Chain A
Amino acid sequence: MTLRRIPISALIGLILTGVSIFVAVFAPFLAPYSPAETVGDVWEPASDQFWLGTDNLGRDLLSRMIYGARITIFIAAAATALSFCVGAVAGFAAAVAGGLTDQAMSRSVDLLMSIPSLIFALVVLSVLPSTVLILILVMAVLDFTRVYRLARAVAVDVNVMDYVEAARLRGERLKWIVFREILPNALSTLVAELGLRFIFMVLFLSSLSFLGLGVQPPESDWGGMVKENKDGIIFGIPAALIPAAAISVLAISVNLVADWILRRTSDLKGGRS
């Protein structure tokens, strides 16, 4: 695993993803202004003082972008982590338990997947307040179905292996089989999926915020910033394009990394890339 073996596309992805996370973590040290403070005129163009110009209320766009990275990445990462833990454990458990439990869980997941995620999120958010916690929960619940399906599919393959049979015969419990036998053998496939789920979460959160149903003002993620500045587009002010481009760059760079990991893990299994 030397640096030279990483393909150039994955390297670009890694660097950009790293920069985004760095910016998100150290936001208060990097941002030149407070994200809530009105420091200039409305929609000032980029200048030495405001590197990306100002937004619809005269706040520094760069500072808001830096803080927005924090909110976007935090919510997406938390939702991904939650959906992954729940989805993977449920998927493994269904595969190991088999029979009626498996049927019941799989059919419920099918049902949940039969309604488009965005539509169901809209229905639920029409009665629930859009707090950060609720957003994370809603996104995780709607997305865990995909992780569940993958985890179950992988676990069904692993479950018929001799070593799992051996563990079963020596009387191990479900918990042991799921965490000590299945999990280590399914991990590489799941890690590759992690990146794709994260991208999906970033795009999902951005869409919700763009529709005005995600992160609520005065806090603002990148999707919300697109919404705030979208009226400027018609007057030829590109402020809304900057957060939208940031979402795209983050999504593409994570995608490049995930693609590379996927290819590496599938190479290990006899090169079926």
Chain B
Amino acid sequence: MIRMAAQRIALGCMLLVAASVLIFAGTQILPGDVAQSILGRSATPESLASLREELGLNKPAVQRYLDWLLAFLSGDLGTALSNGKDIGESVAGRLGNTLFLAGWAAAFSVPLAIFLGLLSVRYQDRTPDRMISGLSLASISLPEFFIGYLLIYFLAVKLQWFPSVATLNADMPLGEKLRTIALPVMVLTMVVLAHMMRMTRAAILNVMQSAYIETAELKGLTPFNVIRKHAFPNAIAPIVNVVMINLAYLVVGVVVVEVIFVYPGMGQYMVDHVSKRDVPVVQACGTIFAAVYIGLNLVADLVSIISNPRLRHPK
């Protein structure tokens, strides 16, 4: 088991490095170069040359990548082209805000999804189950901004229960902060809930239909013991997996939601700088998002390795 876990961690690290190469390469695929596309067609040769110098475009791409990676690993994310500020400083606060939002969304959506998943297994193929699967079909098809603006329109503008714009200050008390992020949290919850619920339902149904559950029932165990000793240990891995995959989705789904609610997080920061063609910021943010995403997927796999009874007690 430890060997498998170590292998998976090593694979995750390799994936991370490869992903950073891909993100770096993604900004190099232009026929001209980055300096040209930033300054546009009317740029003078002098300003082009000085920007190329500043970006280090005169060096070969491999060396630029290695320089960038080493600086990135030592915590130096470089400076933004658009305003000359240090990227690391701007990112630090915003990453915290994004994790704050995603964390609260997870705190609501995960228990709710597991509860609803259990409910739809309990009432399988009856009205509650049908209602839940109908709702989940709808919520998979709805774009985040539709749910978001619908909530803003009715809850913030018409009823005035919540603020429509989620501006967050560091010195707000927690209660105030939670009221501010209530609407974004609701949107994120709805976005991941359906998927998480459907997969939880499938995972539990899959376990409950297996032969060993029937055997356990037939040998006269109480329903509680069937679940505690046989169903739960086998269902935990798929459920944790579902939760982790959705948390990873949450961290990415946050991009659109932050733009809807003008929330001061990483997503908004990245989108702003994509339209300014500020490549160093986009690279840094892209790498951080990818790292979080790969990291959460890695945790999901590790949990399923560790919690798998067949791997924990090898014959």
> Do A and B assemble together?
yes
| Contacting pair A126 B153 (CB below 8 A) | no
Q: Does B300 contact A (CB under 8 A)?
A: no
| Contacting pair B273 A255 (CB below 8 A) | no
A241 to B151, CA, bound (A): 11
| Contacting pair B145 A226 (CB below 8 A) | yes
Interface of chain A: mostly helix, strand, loop or mixed: helix
Which of A25-33, A58-66, A170-178, A230-238 lies at the binding interface? A230-238
| Contacting pair A210 B145 (CB below 8 A) | yes
Q: Does A71 contact B (CB under 8 A)?
A: no
Total residues of chain A contacting the partner, CB 8 A? 44
| Contacting pair A123 B153 (CB below 8 A) | no
B273: nearest chain-A partner, CB-CB: A126
| Contacting pair B290 A115 (CB below 8 A) | yes
| Contacting pair A203 B143 (CB below 8 A) | yes
Q: Does A57 contact B (CB under 8 A)?
A: no
Q: Which residues of A contact B18 (CB under 8 A)?
A: 111, 114
- B155 to chain A minimum Cβ distance, whole angstroms, is 12
- B15 to chain A minimum Cβ distance, whole angstroms, is 5
Q: Does A151 contact B (CB under 8 A)?
A: no
Q: Does A99 contact B (CB under 8 A)?
A: no
Q: Which residues of A contact B279 (CB under 8 A)?
A: 126-127
Q: Which residues of A contact B146 (CB under 8 A)?
A: 226, 241, 244-245, 247-248
Which of B62-70, B117-125, B281-289 lies at the binding interface? B281-289
| Contacting pair B22 A207 (CB below 8 A) | no
Q: Does A40 contact B (CB under 8 A)?
A: no
A243: nearest chain-B partner, CB-CB: B146
- A104 to chain B minimum Cβ distance, whole angstroms, is 13
A223 to B146, CA, bound (A): 10
Which of B137, B252, B274 contacts A259, CB < 8 Å? Answer: B137
- B304 to chain A minimum Cβ distance, whole angstroms, is 17
Q: Does B294 contact A (CB under 8 A)?
A: yes
Q: Which residues of B contact A110 (CB under 8 A)?
A: 15
Q: Does B100 contact A (CB under 8 A)?
A: no
A206 to B23, CA, bound (A): 23
Q: Does A150 contact B (CB under 8 A)?
A: no
| Contacting pair A123 B256 (CB below 8 A) | no
| Contacting pair B143 A111 (CB below 8 A) | no
Which of B29, B271, B293 contacts A127, CB < 8 Å? Answer: B29
| Contacting pair B290 A114 (CB below 8 A) | yes
Which of A127, A245, A259 contacts B277, CB < 8 Å? Answer: A127
| Contacting pair B286 A111 (CB below 8 A) | no
Query: Per-residue 0/1 for A95-139: is the Cβ within 8 Å of any B Cβ (1 yes, 0 no)?
Result: 000000000000000111011101110111111110000000000
Which of A210, A244, A252 contacts B138, CB < 8 Å? Answer: A252
- B148 to chain A minimum Cβ distance, whole angstroms, is 9
Q: Which residues of A contact B252 (CB under 8 A)?
A: 116, 118-119
Which of A115, A207, A247, A251 contacts B256, CB < 8 Å? Answer: A207
Q: Does B259 contact A (CB under 8 A)?
A: yes
Q: Which residues of A contact B61 (CB under 8 A)?
A: none
**B positions within 8 Å CB-CB of A:** 15, 18-19, 22-23, 26-30, 34, 37, 137-138, 140-146, 149-150, 152-153, 157-158, 164-165, 248-249, 252, 255-256, 259-260, 270-271, 273-275, 277-279, 282-283, 286, 289-290, 293-294, 297
9 sample A-B contacts, Cβ–Cβ < 8 Å, listed by A number? A114-B294, A119-B290, A122-B270, A123-B23, A206-B145, A213-B274, A236-B153, A241-B150, A252-B141
- Known pairs A115-B22, A122-B255, A123-B282; list 4 more (Cβ under 8 Å): A119-B293, A124-B26, A124-B29, A210-B143
